[in-house]
Structure 1
């Protein structure tokens, strides 16, 4: 099957005219991975095929979440205790485990966006060879950490996570919907 060319339309390429309502995943603290009192948001794309990563980064930046890097998801369980994270898949597909070692398996594909509240465990279980994403963080949380279950003190991590508030905007919808609804 021939690959679709990268789309360059800023918003319609990823979600059509209007982003869909995100799926939400509530994940409990398992004693090793804190997760969050707020749900993971999973925006599923209406597009097919890869998207120019700059499109994803422009959308994040326009909605107040400066993009920081491009890459993939580590193949080991980890979480961030000092920052929320937005991941826009711009190519390929992957199976991710969210929530820690006994968490929830989620399938993602080009055009999807995951918004992970601080403490959310994530790990790549498998991916297509072309799997790639762009990551962004709220402006006051640009210095993220890398915490691993069994190596990071969960009590100290929970305290750092509890100190974080709700960002001023959703990385996909801006000032409406998404985390402004589900994280309040």
Structure 2
């Protein structure tokens, strides 16, 4: 079941290695889903994301190193377990994410799993516009990312709330 939750908006500056996003905040929906009675919690995320036009979903974890995507936005739903994740690069913030939480990362947002429970299961997905890439923070990547990040289209749909969700409102403000 989806809970109606207003997301927390977090902004990160370019730290010289990780560009982050110069205009768009990362959105964190704490306990967006009540998964206690769900036999397949990952399917709840997959169906919700797909219904709201975020696709190419996957089930896995979060990489244990700093990385970002310069050409696409990403949503991460915690289906099972918990993780401590640093967002925004080495100068960013550490958040404890647990089952039911969702993080929407605008292109350029650094993320790095610091620790996790053995049962961590994350569902990720992407909006229809953009191209998946994986950047680790080299100077060459950073130069290119500073050009590509502002060009990534803003999705019309929030991965949880669709057209009427918080993302279109907060990312177009």
Q: Which residue of the partner structure matches residue 29 of structure 1? A: 14
Structure 2 unaligned regions, length at least 5: none
- Map of 1:40-119 to 2, 5 A cutoff? 40-45=26-31, 47=34, 49=36, 52-119=41-108
Distance 1:151 1:125 in 2: 23
Once the two structures are superposed, residues 95-134 of structure 1 have per-residue CA deviations (whole angstroms, 9 ceiling, x without a partner) of 0000001211011000111000000000000011101111
Structure 2 residue corresponding to 1:155, chosen from 139, 143, 162: 143
Q: CA deviation at 1:67?
A: 3.8
Matched residues, number: 168
Q: Which residue of the partner structure matches residue 6 of structure 1? A: none
- Using the size of structure 1 for normalisation, the TM-score is 0.86
2:68–2:136 Cα contact (<8 Å) kept: yes
Structure 1 unaligned regions, length at least 5: 1-11
> Cα distance 1:75–1:151, how it changes in 2: closer, same or farther (>3 A)?
farther
Structure 2 residue corresponding to 1:130, chosen from 112, 116, 119: 119
Distance 2:89 2:65 in 1: 10
Distance 1:182 1:31 in 2: 26
Distance 2:29 2:100 in 1: 9
1:67–1:134 Cα contact (<8 Å) kept: no
Runs of 4+ that moved beyond 2 A: 46-51, 150-153
1:57–1:67 Cα contact (<8 Å) kept: no
2:157–2:165 Cα contact (<8 Å) kept: no
SS in 1 for 2:115: strand
